[in-house]
């Protein structure tokens, strides 16, 4: 316990500022690691094929043979939960990846160069953001077909302007600083200044936002799969599992509780972890030492 307390209370600097390994952050990180390791080793941990239909074991209660029971097709819920986590998490990472590929350069270029192009791009972003994310995704999927790939691209398009606007605001703050002026005077090109000088200083804030975006994307993809517009059965997915359990919520609640709790756990863990990262990186949220410790450190003694 003493070692754990030392790790949780490890000082970052002389002001004991910004403890990263707080209890909440540590717990959320542990939950995330357990979930990620579990779904990564689904092929080893899962006792059954997630798509294997067994009509002799339909709607079985949890037991030693089926840890979380079986669904209406006799498929093992625990196995589907593990494989479904792969689909949900990889889909969410795909959404965030689309936003990074398009939104990050867009925000960097718009914030650095400004002018009419900046105004036009930001107004387009405002128009996209003004629409509900799921509504735009519905239109996209209706036009190009129901599939996980289309759902990922549809949601990614909505996440692009949000990341672009955040990146632009960070660049506007950074480009007026002395180190940028010094880089220009030295003869560095715009590309080097943007990606070597400015971008690294924006990464901490962007990292926090992207962590939150992964959680939001998991929820959005689960909603689309629940409505039949994302992952299509029999592919394992937490949203699909929730949709399949609708008719059995009262009689077999474990069918809905398992994927529902997993979505809640991973989203809450991502939000808490993101808050811990932000608290660690944000100087304004760091705690200063008590007056007594400050006086002792600097040798201030009352006469």
Average pLDDT, the chain: 83
Helix then strand count (H, E) for the chain reads 13, 0
In angstroms, the CA 179 to CA 196 distance is 12
What whole-number distance in Å separates Cα of residue 252 and Cα of residue 235?
Answer: 21
Q: For 75-139, give the DSSP string.
A: -BHHHHHHHHHHHHHHHHHHHHHHHHHHHHHHHHHHHHH-HHHHHHHHHHHHHHHHS-HHHHHHH
End-to-end CA distance of the chain: 40
Measure CA 174 to chain center.
25
* Residue 133: per-residue pLDDT: 76
What are the residue ranges spanned by the domains of the chain?
Answer: 18-298
Query: What is the predicted pLDDT for the residue at 170?
Result: 92
Q: Please tell me the distance from the alpha carbon of residue 121 to that of residue 141, in angstroms, as a whole number.
A: 25
**How confident is the model at residue 13, as a pLDDT?**
46
Residues counted in the chain: 303
Q: Which residues of the chain have pLDDT under 70?
A: 1-21, 282-303
Q: pLDDT tens for residues 268-278?
A: 999 998 888 87
Topology of domain 18-298, per CATH? Answer: MetI-like fold (1.10.3720)
Residue 283's pLDDT is: 55
d(CA 298, CA 303): 15
Residues facing 70 on adjacent strands? 76
Question: Using CA atoms, how far apart are residues 218 and 242, in angstroms rounded to an integer?
Answer: 13
pLDDT of residue 214: 93
**To which residue do tokens 């936002």 refer?**
209
């Amino acid at each position: 316990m003493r070692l754990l307390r030392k790790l949780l209370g490890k000082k970052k600097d002389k002001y004991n500022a910004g403890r990263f390994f707080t209890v909440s952050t540590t717990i959320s990180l542990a939950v995330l690691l357990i979930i990620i390791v579990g779904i990564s080793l689904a092929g080893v941990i899962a006792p059954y094929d997630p798509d294997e239909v067994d009509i002799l074991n339909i709607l079985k209660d949890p037991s030693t043979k089926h840890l979380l029971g079986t669904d209406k097709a006799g498929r093992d819920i625990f196995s589907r939960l593990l494989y479904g986590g792969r689909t949900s998490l990889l889909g969410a990472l795909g959404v965030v990846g689309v936003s990074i590929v398009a939104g990050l350069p867009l925000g960097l270029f718009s914030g650095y160069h400004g002018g009419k192009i900046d105004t036009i791009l930001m107004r387009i972003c405002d128009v996209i953001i003004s629409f509900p994310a799921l509504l735009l995704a519905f239109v996209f999927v209706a036009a190009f077909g129901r599939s996980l790939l289309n759902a990922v691209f549809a949601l990614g398009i909505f996440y692009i302007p949000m990341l672009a606007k955040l990146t632009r605001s960070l660049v506007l703050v950074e480009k007026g600083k002395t180190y940028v002026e010094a880089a220009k005077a030295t003869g560095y090109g715009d590309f080097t200044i943007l990606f070597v000088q400015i971008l690294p200083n924006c990464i901490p804030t962007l990292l926090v936002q992207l962590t939150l975006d992964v959680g939001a994307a998991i929820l959005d993809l689960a909603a689309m799969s629940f409505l039949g517009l994302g992952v299509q059965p029999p592919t394992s997915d937490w949203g699909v599992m929730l949709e399949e359990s609708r008719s059995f919520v009262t009689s077999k609640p474990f069918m809905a509780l398992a994927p529902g709790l997993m979505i809640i756990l991973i989203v809450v863990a991502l939000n808490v972890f993101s808050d811990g990262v932000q608290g660690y990186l944000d100087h304004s949220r760091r705690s200063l030492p008590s007056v007594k410790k400050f006086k002792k450190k600097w040798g201030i003694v009352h006469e």
